[in-house]
Chain A
Amino acid sequence: MVQPLDHLKESPSQTAGPYVHIGCTPNFSGITGVYPQDLGHEMITGEVSGTPIRITGRVLDGTGTPLRDAMIEIWQPDAAGLFNSPAETRGRADPNFTSWGRAASDMVTGEFAFDTVKPGAVPYVDGRLQAPHVTLWIVARGINLGLHTRMYFPDEDAANAADPILTRIEHQNRVRTLIAETPGKGHYHFDIHLQGPTETVFFDI
């Protein structure tokens, strides 16, 4: 026998289910008067430095049908590459930028949208810079463990080519699943494919 380690196990995940909006975006789901507004509804709370952008997208299942009951959260640094988080030790982030947003898929079209700023670059564990990107976390009925992925920018070819995560992907033809489209100036569209030949690269992170 040896000494017991006594570490705890993480609580197992369970699906967010079809009614995640009741708990996380109650005003969106029609439950008004409990919270003044849905958390994560606004990422820009005042005058903010950097380039304002709009991110839209959809989450599509293996049949190509958009999910109409998903919840998407994004996490990103401000234009200078700093996070609005107590765990940020490199400096103080823009006080008018929350770094975090939350949106529900539209109940008809399945589209989600975030008004945010273009993120700055953040170093990797070895000091190399990561290309500017937005982290996404997706939960929904039928998804047993929240899915982490990233959206990179199509106008950052040089940074993307050197990015420590993108270059780590074995099947390089899948890198494009992490790069947004630009339907217009300041607008980035990012469809997330849960399955199929264009399945988005998800992260074990």
Chain B
Amino acid sequence: MTNGYVNRDRRWHPAALTPDYKTSVARGPRQAPLSFPTTLVEETGPVFGHEMLGRHDNDLIVNFATGDGMAIGPRIIVHGQLRDEFGRGVPNTLIEVWQANAGGRYRHKKESYLAPLDPNFGGCGRCMTDAQGFYEFRTIMPGPYPWPNTMNDWRPAHIHFSIFGQAFAQRLITQMYFEGDPLIWRCPIVDTIPTREGIESLVAPLDMARTVPMDARAYKFDITLRGRRQTLFENRMEGL
């Protein structure tokens, strides 16, 4: 039987108010959140079928391209395992990703950076984990870009990840960074994460063993979701 999900460690995640990331000042809640044990509401969640995926959903190099076109930029494969805090693979769950193009430009009407759009790059993709929680997609290396915060802040190259898991309690959005990028340690958004160890857990190493020779390099990015408790003993919920 299950006994709910392990509490989120809120000292490990970014706080709501992180003034160096200015937008959080008017948008981060100030009151303490209400804590309670996960119920059926949070222990269930949407699950999508593999049949939902289109043939090129996991290939950002071609999924927006026209004809024989391909996105411009260093070709990479991103792969890893989705697992929970107890190390169990999280199978058959949807991962959605989005990113800037190789010049650091997003395809979005509110984006005004002068770097050009790539006509063959949309910037979104998705894939499902397999029976053991492994996933893989192909894309181009996103570029770093400047953003309005102080007068000279630059985002390190990154890919956004949206992950469902098996319960709404596991729902998570985060970002993947690339090994060796000096901008990681200068970014106010990265710096919302309280510990160096936490930041490093979002930095993907180059994985030469998984590169496709003469074609694409690989980066390995493992993702951890909240763990589901499992015990033989019924939770009596005393004191609640």
Q: Which residues of A are interface residues toward B (Cβ below 8 A)?
A: 6-24, 26, 29-31, 33-36, 39-40, 61-63, 65, 67, 69, 73, 75, 77, 83-88, 90, 98-100, 107, 122-126, 130, 135, 137, 139-148, 164-165, 168-169, 174, 194-195, 199-205
B14→A14 contact, CB < 8 A: yes
Q: Kindly state the separation between the CA atoms of A91 and B34 in the bound complex, as whole angstroms.
A: 30
B139 CB → nearest A CB, Å:
12
Interface-central residue, B9, B27, B40, B84, by most chain A CB under 10 Å: B27
B contact residues around A16 at 8 Å (CB): 160, 162, 173
Contact A19 B34, beta carbon cutoff 8 Å: no
Residues on B with C-beta less than 8 A from A39 are 48, 96
CB of B145, distance to nearest CB on chain A (Å): 11
User: Which of B97, B175, B197: most chain A CB closer than 10 A?
Assistant: B175
Counted as pairs of residues, one from A and one from B, with CB atoms less than 8 Å apart, the total is 266
Asked whether, in the complex, the Cβ of B224 is within 8 Å of the Cβ of A10, the reply is yes
- Tell me if B189 and A24 are in contact (CB < 8 A): no
Q: Which of A100, A137, A143, A145 lies at the interface centre, i.e. has the most chain B CB atoms within 10 A of its CB?
A: A145
- The secondary structure that dominates the B interface is loop
CB <8 Å contact, A135 and B41: yes
Bound-complex Cα distance A201 to B162 (A): 24
Of B23, B33, B54, B224, which is within 8 A of A9 by CB?
B224
B130 to chain A, nearest CB (A): 16
Task: Report yes or no: B34 in contact with A146, Cβ–Cβ below 8 A.
Answer: no
CB neighbours of A65 from chain B (8 A): 26
Complex interface bits, B172-199 against A, C-beta within 8 A gives 1, otherwise 0: 1111000000000000011011000111
Contacts beyond the supplied A19-B108, A85-B45: 5 A-B pairs with Cβ under 8 Å: A12-B14, A21-B108, A26-B122, A30-B108, A34-B124
* B47 close to A69 (CB less than 8 A): no
Look across to chain A and name the residue whose beta carbon is closest to the beta carbon of B159: A23
Q: Are A13 and B13 in contact (CB under 8 A)?
A: yes
Q: Assess the A11–B18 pair: CB atoms within 8 A.
A: no
Q: Is the CB of A14 within 8 A of B12?
A: no
- Alpha-carbon separation in the docked complex, A1 to B160 (Å): 39
Nearest-neighbor residue (CB-CB) of A195 within chain B? B30
Q: Which of B56-91 contact A (CB under 8 A)?
A: 57, 63-64, 83-87
6 smallest A-B Cβ distances: which pairs? A23-B98, A142-B23, A142-B27, A144-B14, A85-B44, A100-B46
A201 to B101, CA, bound (A): 38
Instruction: Give the chain A neighbours of B173 by CB distance below 8 A.
Output: 13-16, 20, 139, 146
